[in-house]
Structure 1
């Protein structure tokens, strides 16, 4: 499972827990507002990096995607980031 703050950003205060043991965790300033627990879904790994794809919509239309890569299971603010914009 993964445990994360209700309000957070870029992996701060996220923990990955398996069989009651913390596999990976990132420190940060968030969490006082409460935490949520979710099923953990491992990111795809290409070579030595895990990849996360984020997408943006503007007025219900695709506007861009960002690819974030890291060697760690939890991507953070210092992970590699590759932005893409959709232009007509």
Structure 2
């Protein structure tokens, strides 16, 4: 399922498919270490529209919801990675 990062449920893993927005926004996301193709996990969503805490490559980063709306991801369902490896 392809959705924006702000719609991902806590403790779900996803792969970054695309990053919408202008050059400066994509540059800022890149400086955070996030790139297309990266596997990320939403650790928790901030209450009352606060920032989202995500983990990737053994690091944690907080991203505002408006930024998260521009990061498009493919949610990985439980066991999807293992099933692909068996094929």
Q: TM-score range by the shorter chain?
A: under 0.3
- What TM-score do you get using the length of structure 2 for normalisation? 0.26
> Which protein shows a greater Rg?
1
> Which structure carries more helix by proportion?
2
- What TM-score do you get using the length of structure 1 for normalisation? 0.26
